[in-house]
Amino acid sequence: MPKQAPAEIELRTQNQLSELFAALDSGTGREVRRMLQTLTPQSIAQLLESSPPRIRQVLWKLIDKEVEGEVLQELTDKVRSQILATMDTEEMVAVMEGLDADDVADILQDLPERVMGEVLSAMKETDRSRVESVLAYDEETAGGLMDTNTVSVRPNLTLDVVLRYLRRHAQLPESTDSLFVVNRRGQYIGLLPLSKLLTTDPGVTVREVVNTDVEPIPADMADTDVARLFQKYDWITAPVVDDNNRLLGRITIDDVVDVIREDADHSLMSLAGLDEEEDTFAPIPRTARRRALWLGINLLTALLASWVISLFQGTLDKVVALAVLMPIVASMGGVAGSQTLTVVIRGMALGQIGRSNLSWLLSRELGSGALNALLWSAVIGGVAAFWFGDSHIAWIIVAAMMINLVTAAIAGAILPVLLRALRIDPALAGGVALTTVTDVVGFMSFLGLATLYFA
Amino acid sequence: MPKQAPAEIELRTQNQLSELFAALDSGTGREVRRMLQTLTPQSIAQLLESSPPRIRQVLWKLIDKEVEGEVLQELTDKVRSQILATMDTEEMVAVMEGLDADDVADILQDLPERVMGEVLSAMKETDRSRVESVLAYDEETAGGLMDTNTVSVRPNLTLDVVLRYLRRHAQLPESTDSLFVVNRRGQYIGLLPLSKLLTTDPGVTVREVVNTDVEPIPADMADTDVARLFQKYDWITAPVVDDNNRLLGRITIDDVVDVIREDADHSLMSLAGLDEEEDTFAPIPRTARRRALWLGINLLTALLASWVISLFQGTLDKVVALAVLMPIVASMGGVAGSQTLTVVIRGMALGQIGRSNLSWLLSRELGSGALNALLWSAVIGGVAAFWFGDSHIAWIIVAAMMINLVTAAIAGAILPVLLRALRIDPALAGGVALTTVTDVVGFMSFLGLATLYFA
């Protein structure tokens, strides 16, 4: 099944979008407002994400006040900042009323320091302290992801007491599937799944049924590590603790899914010099600025390749066929190298590649690269011999292609590991570094061998 | 924070792997067996995924029989098939005992038809019928993801009756956070969250507290669509129904997380001509075969570019500086185009791009492309003038670069949409198609303008 075929869900969004744009064009705000009222906050968020900036502002004004907070919480950081930029403090406080502390903290972190302070001081005392306890942690850590709204119980209670306590509690925090078992000092002991609570004899104590399988997450763990743990162990809820193992809050899988998605997008976007949180509908100035930098870096590598070519101007002047064939050697090296690079970068993102298996991976890439080098250099040699009726040029391109494809395999496997050791993001720098190597080696080997022969 | 920095989790895996390899090298199977016994099935699975094929086979033999099934269920399809290939029917049946029906179905679908039949007929009657009901659906649909092990209740019961029923039930299926409310004919009505059950007055009926927010998923919905719904609505459990709205089973978020991850990886891997389920440690023959095809396709586009260059051999013969500069024009076009392409492909994967906003996107890309074309063609013009002391060559490269960067913006935005309309995967074919355009236009415009001038 082609995964990118227009899917049901996508079609539905696109249809809603078309209707909405049509209604906006005909100029009846009332019609649009009615359409928005029939949609869930999540669908409205998706429509905002899928709209150009100016339409976003218009749509936002037509959304019902009561769902504004929920919609805001569903938006990605970049789009949210754009909308927040149009609000004053009072509006922001109103919008955030009723949201979870972690979501409010998430929104506040997009704001300038000064505005954040104003909004915080305008909030209710209890809400503020809850938000501040999340704000104490970096946005990209477990602490920044957690919800402090938890229900905890002591191990010596009987389930019957817990059941009666819950009955009085009237409501549990959203997506609660477990209670947290803590000792007198608030230190985490284990989970008490609601399903256990419902199916076990009420006379039993919490200690006898506590589930200690889920290890607590330190508040300063990176969010991508949290995401890996959730993926690995299929967790739905996990506790977050401080250095003394005291329970601070909980992370639920729905908060982690976005991290998983962004983490996976990171490699794709970085390889093209883009930010994984980039707004698809960012305006021209921001788009142009970000891309300019990337094009500049790539221009430098292209100039380096040109300089290599310029070393062989004498030979090129003598045999013009070389100019015709030389891009093939460089381009095939780039393609082969980027295949290896992509496999290694993804393997690293999945935590599979390190000292212990790198040498195996390198020899596999060398083996596979050598086989393809043999195959495709033979093909291109045949083509060159036939095209230019010159067996010398054919042998030269065969040799150059073999050199470059093997180099590409080595560079594709080694570069990302080297870059990571230097604490440079391999997904961001790997592609440029690789192209530089395959271009330089490609032109150098082809034109160099030709110079040796024809000079 | 550089997301690819060696993270805690990754280091832990790599350390375990090093220890394990060292123990394997020293040849004491007993030592390795003891180490494996200290690890969770999930960690063992991760170590298997991170090992070259031969070591995988050795490790597998050292794993305790009791956890084999759980480990198998955690592996990706490709690695699992490799291990299943070494077992006979009896071993397979033993390994699958105690696994959920959806996991068994998932494993069976990797096997040849004949083997699948043998394993099924060797299973216990009840297990078999459960597995067969999942096997009736394509692996990549909601039906293929679902677990048929659900607890459902009628709307007219009081919560008290439900509570007493659960108490007798002894155990709820794993990761149950809600019961399903169905009518007399088994048709889905809504969810009864366990948290609601615990906090509401037991005298109330199910009908009064049923949650109808989660819409049922049709069994034939594509798994990527299911993943999008879970992401959008932060669901943890969702019901799967047949055409008559009869409850067939449930999908929980942990089954969906892998789909989300693979869906996100799809674009990354496809752009390099790879399969998103590719085993990082696939052996040489399989790796070489898959990559050969991709290199062959790219050789065709490289030959096309060479043919374009060959049209201008006369001009190249006269002005050798052109051969030095021509790769710059093509390469900058490729880089600019792949940035646009990546943004559009990701936007499409997120369901954001369609008829209604494509023209906005195209004009944004044109605007941003034109700005960068102005900037970088001016820079390269200056460099060329200085390098070759020839203002004519400088003006020619300025014009060619502007043409190619604007073309790249248009091609990057239009090609993926066009390919999708033709039902070709844009992530797979987009990169090749784009490079073909930017190479041909790059060489053609630069050498064509030069020919007009110098001829």
Model confidence pLDDT, tens digit, residues B126-169: 788 888 888 888 888 999 888 888 899 999 999 999 999 888 87
The percent of residues in chain B predicted with pLDDT above 70, rounded, is 97
CA–CA–CA angle B333, B334, B338 (5° rounding) = 115
CB–CB contact A225 B17 (8 Å): no
Whether B4 shows a pLDDT value over 70: the answer reads no
Q: Which of B40, B313, B427 minimises the CB distance to A4?
A: B427
Whether A436 shows a pLDDT value over 70: the answer reads yes
pLDDT of residue A2: 40
CB–CB contact A197 B198 (8 Å): yes
Cα end-to-end span (Å), chain A: 55
Residue A259 and residue B3: Cα distance in Å, rounded?
A: 11
Residue A450 and residue A397: Cα distance in Å, rounded?
A: 9
Residue B358 and residue B350: Cα distance in Å, rounded?
A: 14
CB–CB contact B328 A306 (8 Å): yes
Contact at 8 Å (CB) between A87 and A287?
no
Contact at 8 Å (CB) between B101 and B128?
no
Segment A242-266 mean pLDDT: 89
- pLDDT (tens digit, 9 = 90+) per residue, A345-393? 999 888 888 878 888 999 999 999 999 999 999 999 999 999 999 999 9
pLDDT of residue A1: 37
CA distance B337 to chain A (A): 10
Let me know if domain B152-271 sits in CATH 3.20.20.70. Answer: no
Q: Up-side HSE of residue A258: CA atoms within 13 Å toward CB?
A: 17
Question: Quick one: which H or E segment has residue B160?
Answer: helix B159-169
Which residues of A, range 373-392, sit inside 8 Å of B by Cβ? 375-376, 379-380, 383
Contact at 8 Å (CB) between B438 and B334?
yes
pLDDT of residue A3: 42
Q: CB contact, 8 Å: A51 with chain B?
A: yes
Q: Identity (one letter) of the amino acid at B328? A: I
Tell me which residue of A400, A402, A395 sits closest to A381, measured CA to CA.
A395
CA-to-CA dists, residue B99 to B40, B71, B94, angstroms: 16, 11, 10
Residue B383 and residue B394: Cα distance in Å, rounded?
A: 8
CB–CB contact B280 A338 (8 Å): no
- pLDDT (tens digit, 9 = 90+) per residue, B298-353? 999 999 999 999 999 999 999 999 999 999 999 999 999 999 999 999 998 888 88
Chain B residue with minimum CA distance to A331: B302
Q: Which residues of chain B neighbour A424 with C-beta distances below 8 Å?
A: 2
B42: left (phi over 0), alpha (psi -120 to 50) or beta: alpha
- pLDDT (tens digit, 9 = 90+) per residue, B189-220? 999 999 889 888 889 999 999 999 888 999 99
CB–CB contact A4 B372 (8 Å): no
Whether B105 shows a pLDDT value over 80: the answer reads yes
- pLDDT (tens digit, 9 = 90+) per residue, A228-252? 899 888 888 999 999 999 999 999 8
Q: Which of B50, B198, B271 minimises the CB distance to A163?
A: B198
Q: Which residues of chain A neighbour B424 with C-beta distances below 8 Å?
A: 2
Q: Which residues of chain A neighbour B9 with C-beta distances below 8 Å?
A: 225, 228-229, 351
* ipTM of this predicted structure: 0.88
pLDDT of residue A174: 77
Whether B6 shows a pLDDT value over 70: the answer reads no
pLDDT-derived band at A10 (thresholds 50, 70, 90) equals low
CATH class of the domain at A8-145: mainly alpha
Q: CB contact, 8 Å: A339 with chain B?
A: yes
Q: Which of A195, A280, A331 minimises the CB distance to B343?
A: A280
Q: Which residues of chain A neighbour B7 with C-beta distances below 8 Å?
A: 222, 224-225, 228, 351
Hey, do A8-145 and A152-271 end up sharing a CATH topology, with the first three levels equal? Answer: no
Q: Which residues of chain B neighbour A42 with C-beta distances below 8 Å?
A: 232-233
Give me the total of CB pairs closer than 8 Å, taking one residue from chain A and one from chain B: 431
Mean pLDDT of chain A: 89
CA distance A391 to chain B (A): 18
Q: Which residues of chain B neighbour A374 with C-beta distances below 8 Å?
A: none
Residue A304 in 3-state DSSP? Answer: helix
Residue A29 in 3-state DSSP? Answer: helix
Chain A residue with minimum CA distance to B306: A324
For chain B, the structural domain boundaries read: 8-141, 152-271, 284-454
CA-to-CA dists, residue A11 to A446, A447, B220, B234, angstroms: 50, 52, 16, 21
CB–CB contact B261 A351 (8 Å): no
Tell me which residue of B257, B78, B266 sits closest to A346, measured CA to CA.
B266
| DSSP conformation letters of B23-39 | HHHTT-HHHHHHHHHTS
Chain B residue with minimum CA distance to A420: B5
Let me know if domain B284-454 sits in CATH 3.40.30.10. Answer: no
Residue B351 in 3-state DSSP? Answer: coil
pLDDT of residue B2: 40
- pLDDT (tens digit, 9 = 90+) per residue, A93-124? 888 877 777 778 888 887 888 888 888 888 88
Q: Which of A299, A335, A361 minimises the CB distance to B380?
A: A299
Q: Which of B172, B309, B426 minimises the CB distance to A199?
A: B172
B8-141: which CATH architecture? Alpha Horseshoe (1.25)
Q: CA B24: distance to chain centroid?
A: 33
CB–CB contact B8 A425 (8 Å): no
